[in-house]
Amino acid sequence: MNDLLAIAREAVEIGYRLVTTSEPGVVREKGDRDLVTELDVQVQQHIRAHLEQATPDIAFLGEEDGGGELDQTADAVWVLDPIDGTSNFAHGLPLCAVSLALVERGESVIGVIAAPFLGLRYHATKGGGAFVNEKPIQASSNKDLGRAIIAVGDYAVGPGAAEKNDYRRSVTRSLVENAERVRMLGSAAIDLVWVAEGRVDACVLYSNKPWDTAAGVLIAREAGAIVADTSGVPHDFSSRTTVAVAPGIASALWPML
């Protein structure tokens, strides 16, 4: 596991260097208001090449290969989001991240996330704790929802967006009326690791793409956060939504979702 963690951290560092030294390049839409930059593709290509050389027997799933389904029966799969928060990155906002996980038979066992413009490097292994810049991290000890900062995921775009956003607005309205503040950061990876680090007390993400959540969910759990779906059922790759929350406010949060 230590050898695989080292390989994963080296891979994410490749992305870190590329993101901080390269321009986004050509920006195009791969769907309704869903952007991909030339650098997203380049980062994925470089990281994939590194992983294939270092671990040729481990499969690979990356967002910029057109996405696809995660094979939860596979012995091992690397799952990569080369730049999580592409819209932020394309507009010069620093809230974006390189996110890589190793998933074994449907469960994340290694998670590595770097926020290049913030100088933050997170990692966790199953049962081994969670760390930022080599220091252990722990989810918030806050027990008062009225003193909580809660991050919410982006509103929907594309087909069916109007119906989905009716629900999301209702959740946001409930949170605004009860939490200290609500934030929309624009990167699922950062949402999850900031719950792990205690910067925010919870995050509510309205989707569960494996490249968005595979690494961050493990890091959040290893830091002591509860991770489930919006109904409170423990989160896995079959969940439709992703919620990570400090234990002290969990019972107050779920009725709003």
Q: Domain of 205: which CATH number?
A: 3.40.190.80
Domain membership of residue 213 as a residue range = 145-256
- Both tokens of 199, joined, read 């910067």
149 has which bridge partners?
181
Shared-domain flag, residues 66 and 175: no
d(CA 125, CA 5): 8
Shared-domain flag, residues 11 and 92: yes
Shared-domain flag, residues 51 and 75: yes
At 24-63, the pLDDT tens digits run 888 888 777 777 889 999 999 999 999 999 999 999 999 9
User: Residues with Cβ < 8 Å from 11, sequence gap 6 or more?
Assistant: 47, 50, 51, 54, 100, 112
Shared-domain flag, residues 113 and 168: no
Q: Mean of the per-residue pLDDT values for the chain? A: 95
Shared-domain flag, residues 121 and 160: no
Predicted structure pTM score? 0.96
pLDDT confidence of 159, banded at 50, 70, 90? confident
152 has which bridge partners?
204
Q: Of the candidates 111, 136, 161, which is a domain's last residue?
A: 136
The CATH number assigned to the domain holding 104 equals 3.30.540.10
Shared-domain flag, residues 67 and 97: yes
Measured CA angle at 242 (ends 55, 119), to 5 deg = 60
